[in-house]
Chain A
């Protein structure tokens, strides 16, 4: 069974631009969570989607948004990029909502110049 895939793996953007990251969960998994990982703040929860609905949202500004499609694939978008948005963005999937055994993808490394 294929694991969680994230595209692209690396991305370079400039301040003020927007970016969309994609996550395909493990086949059959319906819950997708997103995390931001930085050296200073560690792993921080962004949001969780289940059945195309946002279940939980972390403490991030409105520039960060996400969605989930009917096939459980998820995207997250960051608008008006700031230097501080440079991070590894990790996606994790689980079988059902509330099932805390999450399987992580390799992440998308975003660099904002």
Chain B
């Protein structure tokens, strides 16, 4: 069974600083990995996904994530944080198209002016 661990339920960064949100997964087969963002009172929006192509995945809003099989990680980064990035971020994994997505507990990102 797959699982996802997001290290840090709350991350706070200064505006303009690097954003790093950590995600480690567990999967017995090559995984499909996703990052979603949720703004207050809204649903989830897909930021990016890894589906066994390039290990460095670029997403929307300047975010990217790198798949590292040896570390079973899929950390999300953004070089320079904006105030508008403040939201909750979820990492999710599935091992195939036949099993449901499994989500991490989420990381709330705060951006300080």
Chain A positions near chain B (C-beta within 8 angstroms): 4, 33, 35, 42-43, 45, 48, 55-56, 58, 90, 92, 97-107
Contacts and interface: CB of A to CB of B under 8 A. Distances in A.
Contact of A105 (B34, B43, B90, B102): B43
18 contacts: A42-B103, A42-B104, A42-B105, A42-B106, A45-B101, A45-B102, A48-B100, A58-B100, A90-B44, A92-B44, A98-B96, A100-B101, A102-B46, A103-B46, A104-B36, A104-B44, A104-B45, A106-B43
Nearest to A57: B100
B46 to A, nearest CB: 7
Contacts of A35: 103
Interface of B: 32, 34, 36, 41-46, 49, 51, 90, 94, 96-106
A4 B45 CA distance: 11
A52 to B, nearest CB: 18
Contact of B41 (A4, A101, A105, A106): A106
Leading 6 A-B pairs by shortest Cβ distance: A98-B97, A104-B43, A43-B103, A45-B100, A104-B44, A42-B105
Q: Is the interface of B mostly helix, strand, loop or mixed?
A: loop
A102 B101 CA distance: 10
A55 to B, nearest CB: 8
B43 A4 contact: yes
A56 B99 contact: yes
A100 B97 CA distance: 6
A99 B46 CA distance: 13
Contact of A100 (B45, B49, B103, B104): B49
Contacts of A105: 43
Contacts of B101: 33, 45, 100, 102
A48 B106 CA distance: 22
A98 B98 contact: yes
